[in-house]
């Protein structure tokens, strides 16, 4: 596979290990799982590759097996607004897939990533036939709503330390991103892209969060020691 091929041209069947990283396969009945696995494809995305673009028709429901993506859009002034990051285990765009409408956001790889795609027709077949799949999608939609309400709050925060804390907390959501666990593999520059701050300011915020005992900075990532502290208003006042 070469970088001059598009992500679409780099599609391939998933490996057994990659299938093990897809959380919604587990609750499916055997017939449902067989149909889903037969349809699933994965692509090896390079940093900067677009998985989805604004205005393009939806053809797949996508998820991250490895790596890190960002969800964003551009306003009329050409400024980019980042909505969220999508770490391993995260599946996104179920609302768009349900309505079969064009994408209203861009999804771009921040680093080399493995992205899985379930064809839109298989997605709707599972909705029609699988109770387990319906429950998974319903939980996704519920958590996604809470996530974007929190994102609106983050946009209004003037304290950079709290912005970083809340943004980190959103990436450690066990429902939306079950593949993350306790350690998030992310660089300070990648986090800066997601939060909308400079790398230096993110570094200062992470140092403050580490002093508070909420995180521990490790080689190649961050370990969250107290995710509830990252979300709490009391913690926000302490940082302020």
Q: What is the pLDDT along the chain (240 residues), one digit of tens a residue?
A: 344 456 777 889 999 999 999 999 999 999 999 999 999 999 999 999 999 999 999 999 999 999 999 988 876 566 677 778 899 999 999 999 999 999 999 999 999 999 999 999 999 999 999 999 999 999 999 888 877 766 666 666 678 888 898 888 888 888 888 888 778 888 888 999 888 889 999 999 999 999 989 999 988 889 988 888 888 755 555 655
Q: Which residues have a Cβ under 8 Å from the Cβ of 135 and sit 6 or more positions away?
A: 27
Minimal CA–CA distance to 114: which of 68, 71, 70, 183? 68
9: which residues sit within 8 A by CB, 6+ positions away?
Answer: none
Of 92, 86, 106, give the one whose Cα is nearest residue 24: 92
pLDDT of residue 120: 96
Q: What is the pLDDT of residue 2?
A: 43
Let me know: does 69 contact 86? Beta carbons within 8 Å.
yes
Distance (Å) of CA 83 to CA 57, 98, 101, 118: 20, 20, 19, 23
Model's pTM, two decimal places?
Answer: 0.80
CA-wise closest residue to 105 among 51, 142, 153: 51
Note the pLDDT of residue 156. Answer: 64
Nearest of 112, 103, 41, 117 to residue 71 by alpha carbon: 103
3-state DSSP assignment of residue 167: helix
- What's the CA gap between 64 and 90, in Å, rounded? 6
- Residue 99, pLDDT score: 94
Q: Closest by alpha carbon to 109, among 74, 80, 148, 69?
A: 69
Query: Are the CB atoms for 57 and 102 separated by under 8 Å?
Result: yes
Instruction: Say how many C-beta atoms besides its own lie within 10 A of residue 163's C-beta.
Output: 21
Give how far Cα 167 sits from Cα of 63, 110, 116, 151, 152, Å: 20, 16, 24, 8, 11
Look-up: residue for tokens 């909420």? 214
Neighbour count for residue 23 (Cβ, 10 Å): 18
The pLDDT value recorded for residue 162 is 85
- Encoded tokens for 25: 């396969």
Per the structure block, which two tokens stand in for 149?
A: 């309400």
Specify the pLDDT at position 3.
47
Share of the chain above pLDDT 70, in %: 88
Sequence-ordered list of residues with C-beta below 8 angstroms from that of 202, at least 6 positions apart, any chain: 160, 164, 188, 191, 192, 195
- The answer to whether the beta carbons of residues 64 and 86 sit under 8 Å apart is yes
For the sheet containing 221-224, what is the strand order? 183-184, 221-224, 215-218
């Amino acid at each position: 596979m070469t970088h001059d091929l598009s992500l679409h041209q780099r599609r391939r069947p998933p490996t057994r290990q990659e299938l093990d990283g897809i959380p919604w396969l587990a609750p499916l009945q055997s017939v449902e799982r067989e149909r889903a696995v037969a349809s699933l494809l994965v692509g090896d995305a390079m940093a900067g590759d677009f998985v989805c673009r604004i205005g393009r028709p939806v053809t797949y429901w996508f998820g991250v097996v490895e790596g890190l993506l960002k969800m964003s859009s551009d306003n009329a002034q050409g400024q980019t607004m980042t909505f969220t990051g999508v770490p391993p285990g995260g599946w996104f765009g179920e609302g768009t897939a349900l309505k079969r409408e064009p994408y209203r956001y861009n999804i771009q790889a921040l680093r080399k990533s493995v992205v899985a795609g379930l064809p839109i027709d298989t997605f709707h077949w599972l909705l029609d036939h699988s109770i387990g799949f319906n429950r998974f999608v319903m939980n996704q939609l519920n958590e996604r709503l809470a996530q974007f309400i929190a994102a609106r709050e983050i946009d209004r925060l003037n304290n950079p330390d709290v912005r970083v804390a809340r943004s980190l907390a959103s990436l450690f959501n066990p429902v939306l991103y079950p593949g993350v666990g306790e350690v998030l593999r992310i660089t300070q520059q990648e986090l800066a892209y997601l939060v909308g701050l400079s790398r230096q300011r993110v570094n200062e915020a992470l140092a403050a969060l580490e002093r508070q005992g909420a995180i521990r900075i490790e080689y190649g990532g961050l370990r969250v020691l107290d995710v509830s502290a990252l979300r709490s208003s009391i913690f926000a006042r302490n940082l302020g």
